[in-house]
Structure 1
Amino acid sequence: MGKKYIRDHWKVKYNKNGYPHVQQGWILPPERMEEYDPFILMADDWFKRGTFSDHPHKGFQTITYVIDGRLEHTDNNGGHSILYAGDVQYMNAGKAARHAEEAVEDDLIHTLQLWLNLPKALKQTESSYQNILLEEAPVVELDNGFIRIYSGEAENLKGPMDALVPINMFELFLKKGASHSLRLPRNHNGHIYMLQGKMTFTGDVTLTKTDVGLLSYQGHAADDETDILHITAEERSRVLIYTGKPIGEPVVASGPFVMNTEEEIQEAFQDFRMGRFGPSSQ
Structure 2
Amino acid sequence: MAKENKAQPLQRQVKDHWYVNYNEMGFPSIQKGWVLPVDRWAEFDPFILMAEDWFKKGTFPDHPHRGFQTVTYVVDGRLEHIDNGGGRDILEPGDVQYMNAGWAARHAEDGVEDDIAHTLQLWLNLPKDKRNTETLYQNVYAEEAPVVPFEGGSVKVFSGNIAGTQGPLESIVPITLSEITLSEGAEYVLSLPENHNAFLYVLAGDIDAGKNEVNIKKHGVATLSFNDDGQEQNPSELNIKSNKRRTKVLVYSGAPIKEDIVPYGPFVMNTMEEIKQAFQDFCNGKFGPPAV
* Coarse TM-score class (shorter-chain normalised): over 0.9
Count of aligned residue pairs for this structure pair: 282
Bigger Rg, structure 1 or 2: 2
Per-residue CA deviations over 1:113-140 (Å, capped at 9, x if unaligned) read 0000000111001100000000000000
User: What is the CA distance between 1:215 and its match in structure 2?
Assistant: 1.1
Does 2:235 correspond to 1:229? no
Cα shift readout 1:198-217 (whole Å, capped 9, x = no counterpart): 00012020000000000111
Q: Following TM superposition, by how much is the alpha carbon of 1:224 offset from its aligned partner in structure 2, in angstroms? A: 1.2
Q: CA RMSD in A?
A: 0.6
Task: Give the TM-score normalised by the residue count of structure 1.
Answer: 0.99
Matched residue, 2:68: 60
- Of 217-226 and 144-153, more deviation after overlay is shown by 217-226
CA distance in 1, matches of 2:40, 2:231: 26
Q: How far apart are residue 227 of structure 1 and its match?
A: 1.2
**What are the within-5 Å matches in structure 2 for residues 30-179 of structure 1?**
30-179=38-187
Q: Does 1:247 find its partner at 2:247?
A: no
1:220 aligns with 2:226: no
Which residue type is aligned with residue 114 of structure 1?
L
Moved over 3 A (4+): none
- Whole-angstrom distance in 2 between the partners of 1:182 and 1:65: 20
1:258 aligned residue (259, 264, 268): 268
Counterpart Cα distance in 2 of 1:85 and 1:24: 18
* Cα distance in 2 for residues equivalent to 1:50 and 1:84: 18
SS for the counterpart of 2:29 is coil
* 3-state SS, counterpart of residue 168 of structure 1: strand
The alpha carbon displacement at 1:5 in A equals 1.2
Q: How far apart in 2 are the matches of 1:110 and 1:130?
A: 19
- In the alignment, residue 241 of structure 1 is paired with which amino acid? V
Cα distance in 1 for partners of 2:100, 2:23 equals: 28
How far apart, CA to CA, are the structure 1 residues paired with 2:13 and 2:21? 23
2:199 aligned partner: 191
Correspondent of 1:274 among 281, 284, 287: 284
Q: Which amino acid aligns with 1:245?
A: A
Q: What is the identity, as a one-letter code, of the residue corresponding to 2:173? A: V
3-state SS of paired residue (1:22): strand
5+ residue gaps, structure 2: 1-8
Structure 2 residue aligned with 1:210, among 215, 219, 223? Answer: 219
The residue that corresponds to 2:189 in the other structure is 181
> What is the identity, as a one-letter code, of the residue corresponding to 1:184?
L
- SS of aligned partner of 1:140: strand
- Quick one: which amino acid aligns to residue 230 of structure 2? A
TM-score (norm 2): 0.96
Cα displacement (A) at 1:18:
3.1
Task: Report the Cα distance in structure 2 between the residues aligned to 1:201 and 1:190, rounded to whole angstroms.
Answer: 13
Which residue identity does 1:207 align to in structure 2?
I
Does residue 11 of structure 1 match 2:19?
Answer: yes
Helix, strand or coil at the partner of 1:125: coil
Q: Distance in 1 between matches of 2:199 and 2:283?
A: 36
Q: Which amino acid aligns with 1:93?
A: A
SS state of the match for residue 106, structure 1? Answer: coil
Secondary structure of the 2:138 match is: strand
